[in-house]
Amino acid sequence: MKPRPRSKPYAIRQVLDDWLAKSGLAKRLDVSQVVDRWAEVVGPQIAAVTRAEAVNAEGTLWVRVASSAWANELSLMAPRILGKLNQDRRGQIKEIRWMTGLPAPDRRQEGS
Query: In terms of pTM, does the model score above 0.75?
Result: no
Buried b (16+ CB within 10 A) or exposed e, 59-94: bebbbbbeeeebbeebeeebeebbeebbeeeebebe
Please say whether the dihedral angle defined by the alpha carbons of residues 67, 41, 52 and 55, taken in this order, is positive or negative: positive
Lowest mean pLDDT of 8-17, 37-46, 94-103, name the range: 8-17
With 50 as the cut, is the pLDDT of residue 112 above it? Answer: no
Gap between the Cα atoms of 85 and 55, Å rounded: 12
Which tens digit of pLDDT belongs to each residue from 20-73?
A: 678 776 666 667 788 889 999 999 999 999 999 999 888 899 999 999 999 999
With 60 as the cut, is the pLDDT of residue 106 above it? Answer: no
Q: Is residue 51 within 8 Å of residue 105, measured between CB atoms?
A: no
